[in-house]
Amino acid sequence: LQVGVYNKVPLDGREFCVADAKSVKVRAEDGRAVSSVDISPFINNLPFGKGTTCFSTEDASGSTSQAANIVEALEVGATSLLIDEDTCATNFMIRDDKMMELVAKEKEPITPFIHKIRSLYEDHDVSSVLVIGGSGDYFDVADCVVMLDSYQCHDVTARAKQISSSAAASSGPSHVASSSQPFGTILSRCPVTDAYKPNNKVAVRAKSIISYG
């Protein structure tokens, strides 16, 4: 799906796997630089009162970098987010009920993506496609659940929703790990040439890919 935004050679089989032209693959990128990004939909309550509505750093953490990647994609008009659990920051994606009970909300700076995914779709028309193998709480917020079994796709939405309902019933009112929250405002961003500064962080990822800044 992440390469489905590109044109394919006719009849080679890949033309049947397409994605919206404004789809963006998002992941955590420890160590990336962030410049003047409003990551407040996901990150708040930083130590020493540091603000997050115009956040900058030369060395972002996994969760902070993923928050910035999502916000930057939305700022330039992304309509779909493609996310693989294996390349994400775990604490950015989910916090279970036990952890929420131990660490008070006002003490935790991260609002996990699971709390924003529904409002991102309902309020801003931005879809999310997730590849997940360990975070069943996403069943609660999913519109469609597809299981891959021996390279065959199976629609298991009904079963996933049944599991979700049973888990919520057994947890009672305290089950808040997947509760939805308003996403917040998405700003517009236009890159300018003066902003492209390498800051000694230039890496060649492939023959046609250079990571800059």
Query: Which residues, 6+ apart, have CB-to-CB distance to 137 below 8 Å?
Result: 94, 96, 114, 177, 178
Is residue 66 within 8 Å of 126, Cβ to Cβ? no
Tokens found for residue 11: 């009849």
Is residue 83 within 8 Å of 73, Cβ to Cβ? no
Tokens found for residue 187: 């700003």
DSSP E strands, 1-136: 23-26, 34-37, 55-57, 80-84, 127-131
* Tens-binned pLDDT, residue by residue, of the chain (213 aa): 888 888 888 887 777 788 888 999 999 999 999 989 999 999 998 887 788 999 999 999 999 999 999 999 999 999 999 999 999 999 999 988 888 888 877 788 999 999 999 999 999 999 999 999 988 889 999 999 999 999 899 999 999 999 988 877 666 554 566 678 888 888 887 767 776 677 777 888 888 888 776
State if pTM tops 0.75: yes
190: amino acid identity, one letter? C
Phi, psi of 145 (to 5 degrees): -120, 120
Strands 80-84 and 23-26: parallel
